[in-house]
Amino acid sequence: MKDYRPLRTGFTTGACSAAAARAALTALIRQEDVARIAIVLPNGRNVEFPLLFCRHSLEEAIAGVVKDAGDDPDVTHQAEIHVRVSWCGDPGIHFRRGPGVGLVTKKGLPVPPGEPAINPGPRKLIAENLQPLLEEAGRTGVVVEISVPNGEKLAQKTFNPRLGIEGGISILGTTGIVVPYSHSAWLASVHQAIDVACAYGCQHLVFTVGERSERAARQMFPSCRAEAFIQIGPFFADALRYAASKGVARITLAAMIGKLAKFAAGAESVHSSSSRQDFDFLAAVGVGAGLPNDLVERVKVCTTAAEVSQLVADNKRFFEVLCDKARAVGRSFLPATCELQVVLLKNPAAI
């Protein structure tokens, strides 16, 4: 323990893109290059980024940021994120993909086919950090083009090719912050959170994957005290086992379909590094729910669990069967005295 240090957080590609975009627009408006730039993250925190470079002309500007993923083993750690901004006659912020940023070619992803692989969360973050500058300049329209040198090569180390995202990486991130993935340190923090909840006398624990699912769960269980809500990350089985060892009487596992489907298929950890989505399993769930054969076959060729969810949205029984299977897996880690409830949360419109 004497060598332990907290893992260092980093920034998402979305946050880096927002910083580079704000720097470029600042340079374009003020006609002077900048060396550092601050942005506001979704949680209201101000963070400052050093710039790799910044150049401007009368009609456009470009700036670069080097992504720092902290202690997370992220394939985009130290990648350069370049953003070029230029004036546009049409109102609004218009996103374009430059070299190294992927193109969405299949449905079921947060952005539709034909669009740059810039997720809604980063788009919103960029817009929120550019809008005050546009108002300052008396302008209404700007083009934001994001490039990632070597991005096409980096994308081969991700799930992008399988998901139908071609030509580069995705610009991602809901919070702007990268939480490092360290199995031992992360799992230790989950155990500690359970210990705290038990110390406060919580006999009903609510397990969620992260911030979005916890927000939804808090609305569902308003009478539970704050310590009862525990973000277990991908460690579904480990968290259940540990809670059982502490004598917890009731557990609610609340997750969105992507993670819950992996667990229902038998994956003890649902992190992308250790488990993949099993679409044959989801098709079997569809058979158990009475889906017609043609719909079952379409489930097999989906690329994401979210796409499956959209495909079978009108069949409530599918989701009931999925939750039943997840509960059966979860029960295998718990004694008979511990009650387990499984809640499938709806995916948010923007991630």
Q: What confidence score (pLDDT) does residue 273 get?
A: 67
Each residue's pLDDT tens digit, 280-335 = 999 999 999 999 999 999 999 998 999 999 999 999 999 999 999 999 999 999 99
Closest CA to 246 of 281, 202, 288, 210: 202
How many helices (DSSP H) and strands (DSSP E) are in the chain? 12, 17
275 SS3 class? coil
The residue ranges of every structural domain in the chain are 10-178, 183-345
Q: Which of the four pLDDT bands, split at 50, 70 and 90, describes residue 2?
A: very low
Q: What confidence score (pLDDT) does residue 6 get?
A: 63
Residue 59 makes CB contacts below 8 A (sequence gap 6+) with 86, 87
d(CA 232, CA 220): 18
Architecture per CATH, domain 10-178, reads as 2-Layer Sandwich (3.30)
Each residue's pLDDT tens digit, 157-204 = 887 887 788 999 999 988 888 876 656 667 877 888 898 899 889 999
